[in-house]
Amino acid sequence: MSTESVRRRITRRELHSPRSTAAIVVAVLIVVALAWVGTEVVIALLGLPALLVAPADMFASAVSLPEAPAAIVVAAGVVAVVIGLVLIVLALAPGRRPRHVLETERAATIVDSEVVASALARHASLAADVDPDHTTVSVSKRLAVVDLVPTSGIPVDRSSVSAAVDRELTGYGLRRSVSSRVRVRENGKVGA
């Protein structure tokens, strides 16, 4: 296997979340349901009273389902469809972790979005001459949003902050480019 293919596989594994949690939850629910039905069958064979519902009653209610009120049948059908759709989406959607790939020649370098946001917040607060506690940055897959709360009476040059953030993002060498948006609040805070 080539180094490049190994690097691609590692990168994909680190960027996408596994489906093991959802699969384990579904498997546990199925096992619990089957264990309950099996227990009810054994209890019925022994002639003891049922824990929740006797197997004969379960079968009779399933057979008489067409005679049940339409609202109950429709509600049960809607719940079953929603659960099925959620499971299908979980199975097919590419669960993505909040991480980014840095382009390097020697290794697959993965960095959390929080690390990128922290570095951008530091550079944005320096460029805006704003207290770092008044700077908030959120980084998603394609966008970095910088929120600045200026000190009262001191204007913030949005274009210089935007240039500093863009320069910093370019310097990281992210595989997928991340654009930036700088928002300066109208109302400032008193003090540094």
Euclidean distance between CA atoms 91 and 181, whole angstroms: 33
pTM surpassing 0.75? no
Same domain? 71 vs 107:
no
Same domain? 52 vs 10:
yes
| Secondary structure element (H or E) that encloses residue 76, with its range | helix 70-92
Euclidean distance between CA atoms 79 and 73, whole angstroms: 10
| 16 falls within a domain | yes
Q: Which residues pair with 112 in a beta bridge?
A: 99
| 166 falls within a domain | yes
Quick check: helix, strand or coil at residue 114?
helix
Same domain? 7 vs 86:
yes
Domain enclosing residue 143, as ranges: 99-184
Same domain? 86 vs 155:
no
pLDDT digit string, tens, across residues 9-24: 877 777 777 777 888 8
pLDDT digit string, tens, across residues 94-106: 777 888 888 777 7
What CATH number is associated with residue 169?
A: 3.30.300
pLDDT at position 167, please? 92
* Domain total of the chain: 2
